[in-house]
Copies of this chain bind each other. A is one copy, B any other.
Amino acid sequence: MSETTGADGRRRRKTSPPKVDAPAAPAGIPATGAAKQILDATARLLREKGYEATTVRAIAQAVGIKGGSIYHHYPSKDAIVQQVVNEGVRVVHEAVEAELAALPADAGPVVRLEAAIRGHLLSSLQHSDYTSASIRAFTFLPKNVREGCRKARRDYEAIWSEIVAEAARAGLLPDDASEDAVRLLLLGAVNWAGEWYRPGGRLPIDKIASDFTRSVLRPKVSRK
């Protein structure tokens, strides 16, 4: 029962740098070709199966290469996952800002909130596996990966604070409800939508956005 080691006589001669390659992830933005395909596949798997069940070999298979070859593009599984979730936040952030930017300059808080909700939902339910991955898989990500996108997430949530604040200033929120609660209500509802939304179902995304908005913001009429 000799240890397998030593019996095989593996060739170990290269004294050259032990870390052979792995381009260390361009950090910045683009990612093309194989590197991009790897991110795409990881995003889809993360969205569908979560972090632990998204294996390096499954990613590789989806791309059409073998498990070990992944490491010629990224230094580790977590580096890939990190890039995917950061991209997911970036995408939804941009989508919401784009929806807001497309509005006429004099758009009121109701229209702006609806646009933000629509942008978020379109990104997470329809356009981007990255965004849905970063929402659905986030909870059970390793701590360091979660912390690696904390800033991005907080920056994104700032949009929602602002939009809710606008609604509050316009008197569209109940007097006795905190802005925090309203923001958390809305973000929770849109983030959870991935758990029940199915394309082609009774509620199209536009209708969800419209109904969510009208449920929370209604012209206040002082009665007392």
- Chain A contact residues, CB within 8 Å of chain B: 1, 4, 7-8, 49-53, 136, 139-140, 173-174, 176-178, 180-182, 184-193, 195-196, 202-203, 207-208, 210-212, 214-216, 218-221, 223
Contact = CB atoms under 8 A, between A and B. Distances in A.
Contacts of A210: 176-177
A182 B212 CA distance: 7
A193 B184 contact: yes
Number of copies: 2
Contact of A211 (B50, B178, B208, B211): B178
A105 B214 CA distance: 30
A4 B1 contact: yes
A182 B216 CA distance: 9
A186 to B, nearest CB: 8
Q: Is the interface of A mostly helix, strand, loop or mixed?
A: helix
20 contacts: A51-B52, A52-B52, A136-B139, A173-B215, A174-B214, A174-B215, A174-B218, A176-B210, A177-B215, A181-B208, A181-B212, A182-B211, A182-B215, A184-B193, A184-B203, A184-B208, A188-B196, A191-B195, A192-B192, A219-B223
